[in-house]
Structure 1
Amino acid sequence: MMMAALPTVWWWRRNPLARRIDVVEKWLLLVAWLCATAGSLLTGLVAGIMTNDGLDEQLAGQHSVQAVVLKETPARASAVSSGGLPVVATVRWTGTDGAPRTGRTGIEAGVAVGSRTTVWTDGHGRLMSRPLSQTQVALDAGVVGTAAAVGTASVVLGGAWTVHQLLNRCRMRQWDRDWEQADIRWSGRTP
């Protein structure tokens, strides 16, 4: 049981056979993992908070108003066939300036002409889509935060992997030079 944990401890012990490049690589991997972990958590948290705040700000600018349905929704768009999805209808409402306005927006299926329905407008009285629920806002913020965290970790670890590959090339060149010198010493040849 104890032997499984020892290689990680031994990895950081002094080794007279370790080259400088090996030590650099150990520290690079440690720093990369720390940066990927801390950076992705911080980036994800900030992105999620900013998305949540932006969506909350957008929701604050929307107002519900009562509108009258002017044109019937298509007959094929009954509540059963649409699956509860909104259908497009022409409606009339009173804008924030008191002037009557007309536009097309999504309403519940099966609403009759002349019926009142709730529509959403912005601060200038223009029609907007229904605002997101708090659950949708939280979900969107979570998705954006997770994507930012994964992206940050991918960039940091991808950079560490690239540097690791460059160090491997350097290590192989050093290995070739050392074998050449050993071959010269062992064979008795002169350089």
Structure 2
Amino acid sequence: MAFRGPKVWLWRWRRNPLKRRADAVESWIVLAAWLITVLAGVLAGLTATRSVEHELAQERVEWKPVVALVTQDAPGPSPANSGRTNSELVWAKVRWTAVDGSSHTGQIRVPSGSGIGTPVTIWTDPQGHLVTKPATASQAQLRAALIGTLLGMGAAAVPFISARALRIRLERRRMDQWDEEWARFGPLWSRKTG
């Protein structure tokens, strides 16, 4: 096992006679990459979180529950005859009237066996189109936080991966320089004296 001395803070910026220009360039690339990675991730994550929270809050305000009527018998036994309180949900056509008075139809899931004219609660947007039930405030916060985290990580990955690729390229260049110098000075070291 090799002995390692104490960890030296900011070693990339300390003076060293063996430090090359490529080492200095790499040290600044590492610093810039970390700063850009953190900033990009945090800013993208916060922006996405706020945007999603705003959109979901707007849905909670604009989307309204409406009573719709089933227009065709739903397949399966009727909920009253099935003997189960939690009946299976099946697709059925329904009709509802929007706030502006226009009539709309669509398909939703209703309890199996629901007959024609059975009232069901649906959610519509301001134009009267069928939508899902809007997320509650706590569901919206969770969803916004998850989306913000994922987008933040994705945004942070771009500068991180770019800097990593640049560092690999610099490392290859540095190794090529070492090979060139070793080819020049290596034979001088292998000569026998006197």
Q: Same fold (TM over 0.5)?
A: yes
- The answer for unaligned runs of 5 or more in structure 2 is 80-84
Q: Identify the residue that residue 125 of structure 1 maps to in structure 2.
A: 128
1:136-165, Cα deviation, whole Å (9 max, x unpaired): 322321222111111122111111110111
- Choose from 94, 98, 108 the match for 1:95: 98
Correspondence 1:126-165 to 2 at 5 A: 126-165=129-168
2:76/2:112 contact within 8 Å kept: no
| Partner Cα separation in structure 2 for residue 98 and residue 9 of structure 1 | 71
Q: Identify the residue that residue 36 of structure 1 maps to in structure 2.
A: 37
CA RMSD of aligned residues (A): 2.8
| Partner Cα separation in structure 1 for residue 86 and residue 12 of structure 2 | 66
Q: Identify the residue that residue 51 of structure 2 maps to in structure 1.
A: 50
AA at the equivalent of 1:52: E
11-20 vs 88-97, which moves further: 88-97
Q: Report the 3-state secondary structure (helix = DSSP H, G, I; strand = E; otherwise coil) of the residue aligned with 2:72.
A: coil
| Partner Cα separation in structure 2 for residue 45 and residue 119 of structure 1 | 33
TM-score normalised to structure 2 length = 0.78
- The answer for unaligned runs of 5 or more in structure 1 is none
Q: Identify the residue that residue 15 of structure 1 maps to in structure 2.
A: 16
Q: Report the 3-state secondary structure (helix = DSSP H, G, I; strand = E; otherwise coil) of the residue aligned with 2:74.
A: coil
103-112 vs 138-147, which moves further: 103-112
Q: Report the 3-state secondary structure (helix = DSSP H, G, I; strand = E; otherwise coil) of the residue aligned with 1:72.
A: coil
Q: Identify the residue that residue 66 of structure 2 maps to in structure 1.
A: 65
Q: Report the 3-state secondary structure (helix = DSSP H, G, I; strand = E; otherwise coil) of the residue aligned with 1:106.
A: strand
For residues 31 and 113 of structure 1, do their structure 2 counterparts lie closer, same or farther at Cα, with a shift above 3 Å needed? same
Q: Identify the residue that residue 26 of structure 1 maps to in structure 2.
A: 27
AA at the equivalent of 2:92: A
Identity of aligned residues (%): 36
Q: Report the 3-state secondary structure (helix = DSSP H, G, I; strand = E; otherwise coil) of the residue aligned with 1:42.
A: helix
Instruction: Give 1:186 shift.
Output: 4.3
TM-score normalised to structure 1 length = 0.79
For residues 166 and 89 of structure 1, do their structure 2 counterparts lie closer, same or farther at Cα, with a shift above 3 Å needed? same
For residues 122 and 6 of structure 1, do their structure 2 counterparts lie closer, same or farther at Cα, with a shift above 3 Å needed? same
| Partner Cα separation in structure 2 for residue 11 and residue 68 of structure 1 | 72
| Partner Cα separation in structure 2 for residue 9 and residue 145 of structure 1 | 32
